[in-house]
Structure 1
Amino acid sequence: MNLKDEAAVDAALTHLTALLSENEVILDYQQLKKRVAENDTLKELEEGIQTAQKNAVQFAHYGKPEAEREALKEADCLTKELDRSPLVTAYREQLYEANDLLQHLTTRIQKEVNAALEAESTREGEQ
């Protein structure tokens, strides 16, 4: 690829990135991501889950199976509570939509690049 082609690819990538940053699906995802990150209740639940999991590991290490089971049960309850949060549910749905959009875009780019490479290869073979 020559310098001119690289500049064209860079320009196209910059344009694509700008379009994506303005896409409604991406904007909604980013907004929900920010709300999740700033939500104190969700932070507390995550911290509680991590603490319970760490406790379970410690109890297992020290041979305390009953305490380990209780810690795992607590972590499971907190995880279910986190999973039921409307904000977490909305975030996961939006993440799925954003991922689907990016997968579609990536697949389309890949197909077009492959087609262009095949066409170029065919032209070079004919010469």
Structure 2
Amino acid sequence: MSLEKEPEVQRALDQLTTLLQDNEVVQRYQNVKARIDQNTAVHTLEEAIKQAQKEAVHFAHYGKPEAEKQALKRADELTKQLEEHPLVIAYRESLSEANDLLQHLTGLIQKEINDAIEDETKHD
């Protein structure tokens, strides 16, 4: 690609970025992510899971298999609660939708680039 086309590429990239930021799927994802980031219940569950996992490692290190088993069971129960939290479910769904959109756009861009390269090599 020649250097004089770089500003054109940058403008196209800026336009695409703006379009993505304005896209309903991306906005929904950003909204849910912001709600998750501010949700104390979700953060409390995450911290409790980490603590139970640390306890399990600690108990394993000191040869206390029954205590380790209980800590792992507690971590699993807390993880299940976290995964079933409505906000976490909404987050995963919106993340998946946004990811699908980005993968689709990436595929379209890749196809356009490949087609342009093919056309260029045919004319050389």
Post-superposition offset of 1:79: 0.3
Post-superposition offset of 1:62: 1.0
Q: Does 1:9 align with 2:9?
A: yes
TM-score, L = length of structure 1: 0.96
Tell me the distance in 1 between the aligned counterparts of 2:31 and 2:4: 37
Post-superposition offset of 1:3: 2.4
The residue aligned with 1:53 is 53
Tell me the distance in 2 between the aligned counterparts of 1:2 and 1:49: 53
Post-superposition offset of 1:55: 0.8
The residue aligned with 2:74 is 74
Query: How many aligned residue pairs are there?
Result: 124
Post-superposition offset of 1:4: 1.8
- 1:32-43 equivalences under 5 Å are 32-43=32-43
TM-score, L = length of structure 2: 0.98
For the residue of structure 2 that corresponds to 1:63, the secondary structure is: coil
Q: Percent identity, please.
A: 58
For the residue of structure 2 that corresponds to 1:98, the secondary structure is: helix
Q: Does 1:94 align with 2:94?
A: yes
Q: Which runs of 4+ in 1 moved over 4 A?
A: none
Tell me the distance in 2 between the aligned counterparts of 1:61 and 1:75: 17
Gapped regions of structure 2 (runs ≥ 5): none
